[in-house]
Amino acid sequence: MIRVHQLVLPGLALFALTFCLACSEHNFVTCDITQRACQEDIYYRMLKLRGDGYDPFGGLPPMTVISEDQFRQQLEQEAATTQSHQTPLDKLWDKVMVLLHFTSAAPAQGGVDGGADGGTSGDAGTSTSAIDDEVTHIYAFYDPQSKTVTVISHPNQTGAAAQAENMITLAHELVHALQDRELNLKKTDFNTSDEYYAYDTIIEGDARFYEYLFTKDLCPLIPQCQSATSPAQELEDYWSHFDQLGSPLFAARALIYPLGSKYEDTAYQSGGNAAVRHAYAKAPARMVGFLVGSDGHVPSVGTGSVCPAPVALALAPTKDTMGADQFGALLVYTFLRGWKVSHDLAFATAQTWTGDFLRVQASSDYRTSAAAWRIEFSTPPPPAIAQALTVSGELTVTADKGALLITVSDSTTPLTWTAPTNCP
């Protein structure tokens, strides 16, 4: 995973040690990823797995090794910088994420690279406990700004199992370094969060798929590696363990890894490494295109066009107190799951997504926050969706033909929402 989009899954550890398969004979050994010889072994194995015809770095990409204390200082500095640059509109998005139950408390600082007006909040928290978790569970990361792979030394994590998990992480990060020779991993010109998630799904999915092949080789060296799996099965594991993925916003970030890996595996099965490369050119521009069910049905991506969400005129909206974004089908799915909609119903509904428009608003003093989210579908969502969303009384949901309008506010008085005149 690229450091700026870091991910640590409590209780799942990215399924690293359960990501094993029936493995073939090989001469692989576990090693210490802080050592150059180990780094080279992993790097050249990744070149072989990816079918690269040449070594673009002539050895290794730029590598550095830092201590846990150094990593902690870096995280604390990043958190302080992010906090100091947060605008009132950023804080408004954070408040709305809580109102919609995308996050369960004050969300993490920092943001998704994209979104029409700032987009959704980031994944990694800035609290001491969140930083502690990152220091403990992150073994390596790739920084597209410095073009460097950084390895964090964990002297207290010893043994074959710990080394194997470290090696799997480094293999993933080395794929990012190789990707960055072919793609622009610093891309930030996304118009919506949906576009960002779709782009990152193919980036992380590629790295995750080759991580999968690497783990297949490493499997016999990992204690208790018994389960047989595949990228498709890993995705099924994520669906069934959704309650372990954290908040719906965090869960969406977690799901892009197996979604992208399954997409790349499908390409690989049809034409090997060359098909994986070609899959980039054909990758869906919106997340709905990755929501392929077990029946193999690929949803229609469409244009994403949608009528804008209504406005609460009582809040006297201005460009400084109002923002908008398109979240896409994956965040619709995780949102529904967060409101206790079953996987089957949430997934089938998300597959029919054709567009959405999330508008956030605040009063001039930012004391009152509100949001209106219009989601359009190719077929009307079942009544059970609106029932699940309104059971607590926090959300107001209006079903209109093939659309849902969801509104929420922390206003002490009810708000009146005014729809655009050019929409039904």
User: What does the pLDDT look like over 375-421, one tens digit per residue?
Assistant: 999 999 999 999 999 999 999 999 988 999 999 999 999 999 998 87
Q: In whole angstroms, what is the distance from residue 208 CA to residue 103 CA?
A: 26
Residue 290 lies in a domain: no
Residue 364 lies in a domain: yes
Residue 294 lies in a domain: no
- Does 200 share its domain with 62? yes
- Does 28 share its domain with 118? yes
Q: What's the CA dihedral at 169, 234, 283, 299 to 10 degrees?
A: -160
Q: Which domain holds residue 370?
A: 311-418
Q: In whole angstroms, what is the distance from residue 303 CA to residue 288 CA?
A: 11
326 or 1: which leads in pLDDT: 326
pLDDT digits (tens, 9 = 90+) for 5-54: 334 343 344 444 343 433 333 467 889 999 999 999 999 999 999 998 78
- Does 268 share its domain with 344? no
Residue 298 lies in a domain: no
- Does 256 share its domain with 382? no
Q: Which amino acid is at 12?
A: L
Burial class (CB in 10 A: 0-12, 13-18, 19+), 155: exposed
Domain boundary among 265, 282, 299: 282
Burial class (CB in 10 A: 0-12, 13-18, 19+), 23: middle
- Does 258 share its domain with 332? no
- Does 315 share its domain with 275? no
Report how many domains make up the chain: 2
Residue 239 lies in a domain: yes
Widest CA span in the chain: 69
Phi and psi at residue 200, in whole multiples of 5°?
A: -70, -25
pLDDT digits (tens, 9 = 90+) for 98-143: 999 999 865 443 333 223 333 333 344 456 788 999 999 999 999 9
Domain boundary among 237, 266, 282: 282
Residue 305 lies in a domain: no
Provide the pairing of β-strand 417-418 with 396-400.
unpaired
Query: Closest Cα to residue 212, out of 227, 229, 187, 200?
Result: 229
Domain boundary among 282, 301, 332: 282
Residue 349 lies in a domain: yes
Q: In whole angstroms, what is the distance from residue 183 CA to residue 199 CA?
A: 11
Return the pLDDT at 107: 42
288 or 161: which leads in pLDDT: 288
- Does 221 share its domain with 352? no
- Does 164 share its domain with 248? yes
- Does 273 share its domain with 317? no
- Does 332 share its domain with 225? no
- Does 227 share its domain with 374? no
pLDDT digits (tens, 9 = 90+) for 232-274: 999 999 999 999 999 999 999 999 999 999 999 999 999 999 9
- Does 84 share its domain with 174? yes
3-state secondary structure of 361: strand
Residue 292 lies in a domain: no
Provide the pairing of β-strand 369-377 with 311-312.
unpaired
